[in-house]
Structure 1
Amino acid sequence: MNTNKNMEFWGIKNMRFCPICGSPNIDWVLPQDWSRWKCKECGYIGTLIVEDGKIADEIRKEYLKKHVNKK
């Protein structure tokens, strides 16, 4: 999955990604609390997010390498 190419194709520039697993499946913990994010894939909760698709791709590759090989 090349997130950056998908972003270019769809014209999406303001995507946010989980800093732990690189998933775009991330949302606010509470809509009123815009500073805390939760990843629906790995369960990360925190204030840090990634907005660069290239970095998210690298994070995603490393995360999948570590977690897919363990199963």
Structure 2
Amino acid sequence: MAKIGNELMRMVAVVLASVGAINWGLIEFAGTDLLVDTLGLTGDTYTAVIAVVAAAGALALYNVGVVELLGDPMDG
């Protein structure tokens, strides 16, 4: 099982997932949302950005969690 995406795509995915995690913590503990408060995102644009961050998180989890930590299950 190989990693998905080239090196740049994997790095962008990790950065987006990290920013999303920080934003999630800020929403919970500080009551502020970076996407709304700094970028002014609302409605469908906000939803689209959240979807992209979620996809980046899934990609980062697969590449780092499954492939690097668990190894390739096809190797036997």
Which TM-score applies when normalising by structure 2?
A: 0.32
Greater fraction strand: 1
The answer to which structure, 1 or 2, has the higher relative contact order (CA under 8 A, 6+ apart) is 2
Larger radius of gyration: 2
Greater fraction helix: 2
